[in-house]
């Protein structure tokens, strides 16, 4: 093995040592954030980190020694070229005829298993390793010289299944689709208090009173009273154990898994706000029944007004006017497919009388998708169930004042723990994503939902 190859090998070893040291440091930071940590565990992890540190230093010194040796060899070669007498100096390489053969780039006697070739293929494909690309190009030129007639044959890649290296387009990986959190992002958000597992609110349930006084009679008086509303702080969490081999020898495995955990976290949060037993939106909203065997938009539209009327009647002066309609994507597209020849008698701001609403042309999960004919913004959320009703084929439309649907979230959520100690015996790395939240839709009983057989699986007929 040449000195240059030894230097390249030493650089690779140093890079590996640095990566290992960083992983041990990350594990130490994660361990210190664990509420259940012990002094012995921290001491043991510090020792592992220090051992990795020492290995980095050793590899660094070995590389420096080899590089210094290479510098000295280069100096001696230059010195020899200057001091050799002209009479004894050999003719220049390009001034004599020679018959010989240069060494191949990849030699089986030096690398029997072809590991250098494999490393160069990966490095040239996934990064900007120009040295690897140069070696591969030189190898192909050598192949054309020695086996050109074989390479010219019309054999496809299928004839060399063991030699054609598969390419994985890691930047175009297909993540698992998720409904995520359109409704949660549309409602009123608050920072979750730093401590406690409940959120308490006072709601005035008996108001004061006034009345027309009869002269010299007593003034109206009613004792004010409140009821304490208590909402539980819930924990949303998920985990995944990865083998160290997958992380260290895969391409982008850890970020892909972490991204999927975050997507599941968002979906679970939003699904809880809508569908959770007792407190979810579907269970606290007052029903506006729409029962019809042949549903049409003309029949559904008045139900929307009935629901919005109920929202405002419940809130009175507490209504913000920022009402939203939340529906499944199948319902939103069904409403868009409707054609008609009648229009509202009262026009709405920004919407032409001939239109049954507007579509803003935005993507799923990006906020308001459009507006209904009366100007109510539409949030499309596919966490809404589509298996409701006696036929298990109905969905629901929710009508709420967005400022009276409250969500408390930890500002740092979701949080991430990367722990190596618990799975060390099996070379596993545990990844945990978690966060705390609380919510309520019942500070005022204002939410309405349109439900019934009129919201069965839609058919797209234009009517």
Q: What is the pLDDT of residues 34-68, one digit of tens each?
A: 766 677 788 888 888 899 889 889 888 888 888 88
The verdict on residue 118 lying in a domain is no
Beta bridge pairs of residue 399: 325, 448
Give the model's confidence band at 419: pLDDT under 50 very low, under 70 low, under 90 confident, else very high. Answer: confident
Cα 171 to Cα 20, 122, 221, 263, 406: the distances in Å are 25, 15, 70, 18, 37
Cα separation of 366 and 379, whole Å?
9
CB atoms within 10 A of CB 256: 14
Q: What is the pLDDT of residues 92-105, one digit of tens each?
A: 545 555 555 567 78
The verdict on residue 104 lying in a domain is no
Kindly tell me the sign of the dihedral angle through the C-alpha atoms of 316, 318, 322, 323.
negative
Provide the domain limits for residue 55.
Answer: 1-81
Of the candidates 399, 402, 395, 283, which has an alpha carbon nearest to the alpha carbon of residue 328?
Answer: 395
The verdict on residue 433 lying in a domain is yes
Higher pLDDT: 144 or 354? It is 144
Domain boundary among 33, 66, 81: 81
Q: What is the pLDDT of residues 183-236, one digit of tens each?
A: 999 999 999 998 999 999 998 989 999 999 999 899 999 999 999 999 999 999
CB atoms within 10 A of CB 42: 14
Q: How many domains does the chain have?
A: 2
Same domain, 335 and 224: yes
Same domain, 276 and 390: yes
Cα 92 to Cα 81, 96, 100, 115, 143: the distances in Å are 12, 7, 16, 36, 28
Higher pLDDT: 315 or 115? It is 315
Phi and psi at residue 327, in whole multiples of 5°? -145, 165
Beta bridge pairs of residue 419: 430
Cα separation of 192 and 88, whole Å?
86
Tell me if 328 sits within 8 A of 386, measured CB to CB: yes
Cα separation of 57 and 49, whole Å?
13
The verdict on residue 359 lying in a domain is yes
**Which class for 157: exposed (0-12), middle (13-18), buried (19 or more C-beta within 10 A)?**
exposed
Does the pLDDT of residue 378 top 80, yes or no? yes
Cα 199 to Cα 231, 290, 406, 446: the distances in Å are 5, 36, 11, 20
Higher pLDDT: 320 or 165? It is 320
Q: What is the pLDDT of residues 267-323, one digit of tens each?
A: 999 999 999 999 999 999 999 999 998 998 889 989 999 999 999 999 999 999 999
Domain boundary among 59, 81, 103: 81
Pairing of strands 286-289, 448-451: parallel
> Which of 1-5, 148-152, 373-377 shows the lowest per-residue confidence on average (mean pLDDT)?
148-152
Widest CA span in the chain? 137
CB atoms within 10 A of CB 219: 9
The verdict on residue 463 lying in a domain is no
Domain boundary among 81, 111, 128: 81
Same domain, 65 and 189: no
Calculate ∠ Cα 257-260-266, nearest 5°: 145
**What is the average per-residue pLDDT within 111-127?**
65
Cα 221 to Cα 209, 212, 224: the distances in Å are 6, 12, 9
Write the CATH number for 235: 3.30.2400.10
SS3 245: helix
Does the pLDDT of residue 381 top 90, yes or no? yes
The verdict on residue 448 lying in a domain is yes
Same domain, 71 and 191: no
The verdict on residue 133 lying in a domain is no
Pairing of strands 323-327, 397-401: antiparallel
Q: What is the CA radius of gyration of the chain?
A: 35
The verdict on residue 301 lying in a domain is yes
Same domain, 384 and 248: yes
């Amino acid at each position: 093995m040449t000195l240059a190859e030894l230097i390249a090998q030493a650089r690779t070893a140093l890079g590996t040592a640095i990566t290992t040291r960083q992983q041990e440091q990350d594990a130490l930071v994660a361990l210190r954030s664990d509420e259940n940590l012990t002094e012995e565990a921290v001491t043991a992890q510090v020792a592992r980190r220090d051992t990795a540190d020492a290995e980095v230093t050793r590899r660094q010194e070995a590389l420096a020694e080899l590089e210094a040796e290479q510098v000295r060899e280069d100096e001696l070669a230059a010195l020899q070229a200057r001091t050799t007498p002209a009479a004894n100096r050999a003719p220049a390489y390009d001034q004599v005829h020679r018959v010989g053969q240069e060494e191949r780039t990849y030699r089986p006697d030096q690398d029997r298993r072809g590991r250098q070739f494999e490393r160069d293929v990966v490095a040239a494909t996934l990064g900007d390793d120009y040295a690897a690309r140069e070696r591969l190009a030189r190898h192909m030129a050598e192949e054309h010289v020695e086996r050109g007639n074989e390479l010219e044959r019309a054999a496809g890649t299928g004839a060399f299944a063991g030699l054609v290296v598969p390419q994985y387009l890691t930047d175009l990986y297909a993540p698992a689709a998720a409904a995520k959190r359109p409704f949660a992002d549309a409602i009123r958000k608050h920072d979750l208090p730093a401590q406690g597992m409940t959120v308490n609110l006072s709601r005035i349930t008996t108001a004061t009173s006034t009345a027309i006084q009869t002269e010299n009679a007593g003034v109206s008086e009613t004792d004010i009273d409140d009821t304490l509303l208590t909402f539980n702080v819930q924990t949303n969490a998920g985990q995944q154990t990865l083998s160290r081999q997958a992380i260290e020898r895969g391409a982008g495995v850890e970020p892909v898994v972490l991204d999927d955990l975050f997507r599941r976290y968002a979906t679970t949060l939003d699904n809880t706000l809508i569908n959770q037993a007792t407190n979810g939106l579907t269970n606290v909203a007052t029903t506006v029944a729409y029962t019809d065997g042949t549903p049409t938009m003309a029949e559904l539209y008045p139900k929307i007004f009935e629901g919005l009327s109920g929202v405002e009647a419940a809130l009175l002066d507490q209504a913000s006017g920022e009402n939203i309609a939340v529906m499944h994507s199948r319902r939103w597209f069904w409403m868009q497919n409707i054609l008609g020849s009648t229009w509202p008698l009262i026009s709405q701001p920004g919407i032409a009388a001939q239109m049954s609403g507007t579509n803003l042309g935005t993507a799923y999960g990006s906020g308001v998708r459009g507006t209904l004919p009366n100007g109510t913004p539409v949030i499309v959320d596919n966490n809404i169930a589509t298996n409701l009703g006696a036929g298990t084929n109905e969905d629901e439309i929710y009508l709420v004042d967005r400022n009276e649907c409250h969500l408390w979230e930890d500002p740092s959520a979701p949080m991430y723990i990367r722990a190596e100690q618990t799975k060390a015996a099996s070379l596993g790395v545990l990844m945990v994503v978690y966060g705390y939240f609380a919510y309520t839709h019942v500070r005022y009983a204002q939410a309405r939902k349109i439900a019934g057989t009129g919201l069965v699986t839609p058919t797209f007929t234009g009517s």
